[in-house]
Every structure is written in structure tokens, then in C-alpha cells.
Amino acid sequence: MEKDRLTLISSYKKNTKHTVDALTIAIDHHKSNAKSQEKAKVECLKGKDLKIKDLNGQLQKNMKDCKKMVATIDDLRRTVNRQVHNLSSIKGDLMSKMRECDIYKKENRSLANPKQGDEGTCR
């Protein structure tokens, strides 16, 4: 009976040792997998971080370009407004000259075709 008990205890110890060894191997395997997944995650995040930095750089460049374009548009708008004002002044001058020409035409007509009572006065 003592011998059976010792055999049983020895058997339990061997089984326990094999189980512990198997669990230790499984734990080490899971730790290794977790470390590789963590490394992969870090690499993925680094890649995404680089993409974000690149996109941010492109966005900043686009913003600078847009600000330059807005400044150029403002300059062009001021130039157009000045030219419109100049054209308005020129149009006013032209209208004035046209009225002056109309007055001169009327005077020329009246000098060329004197009225019946004015026949002897201009000659």
C-alpha cells in the first residue's frame, strides 16, 4: 500500500511537472505573440504617424499657397476697381466731349443755315 501511494504521488508529480512545463511553454508562446503584436502595432502607428506628418506638411503648403492666391486676388480686385474708376472718369469725359460736340454741331448748323431774319448780319 505504501508502495502504491508512493507510485501515485510520483505519477501526480510527473503529471503536474508535464502540465506546468506545457503551461510554461504556452505562456512563453503567448508572451512572444503579444510582443510581436505590440511591435507590429508600434510599426503600424509609426507608419500612420509618418503619413499624418506628410499630410500635415502638404496641408500647410497648400494653406500658404492659398494665402498667396488670396493676396493676389485682393491685388487684382484693387486693380480692377481702379480701372473701373478710371473707365468711369473716361466715360464722363467722353460724354462731356460729346455734349460739347453736339453744341458745336448746332452752332455750325445755325451758322451754315441762317434763319430768315439773320441773313444780312453775318456776311
Residue 116 DSSP label:
G
Q: Mark out the alpha helices in the chain (DSSP H runs).
A: 2-112
15 vs 99: which has the higher pLDDT:
99
- Map grid coordinates 502595432 to a residue: 41
Residues 104/93, Cβ–Cβ less than 8 Å: no
pLDDT at residue 116, as a whole number: 55
Q: Where are the domains of the chain?
A: 2-109
- Quick: pLDDT tens for 82-104: 999 999 999 999 999 999 999 99
- Quick: pLDDT tens for 19-71: 888 899 999 999 999 999 999 999 999 989 999 999 999 999 999 999 999 99
pTM over 0.75: no
- Map grid coordinates 496641408 to a residue: 59
Q: How far apart are CA 105 and CA 110, in angstroms?
A: 8
